[in-house]
Amino acid sequence: MILCIKKTNGDKLIVKSFFSGLLYAILSLIVFAILNKGFSFNLTILYDILFALIVSIIASIIINLLHKKNL
């Protein structure tokens, strides 16, 4: 399920934020796995990734609404 809300310049803001949130979550997991000198995949990691994706999508919706309000 991918939602697309177009801005005035044609950018698909929610899709971009979805992938940037996913990239952020994965990179943070990699960095902390390196610092911890180990990586174990469990359900908590999946929850962290889902939380990052939900927050990034909500932020993009708020940005889109503020952008429309300022036009």
Q: Report which secondary-structure segment, H or E, holds 5.
A: none
The span from the CA of 53 to the CA of 39, in Å, is 21
Whole-model pTM over 0.75: no
Residue 10, Cβ density class (10 Å: 0-12 exposed, 13-18 middle, ≥19 buried): exposed
Q: Which residue has the tokens 């697309």?
A: 4
Give the DSSP letter of residue 9. Answer: T
- Taking alpha carbons only, the member of 20, 16, 19, 21 closest to residue 52 is 21
pLDDT tens readout for residues 1-58: 445 544 444 457 778 888 888 888 889 989 989 999 888 888 988 898 899 889 988 8
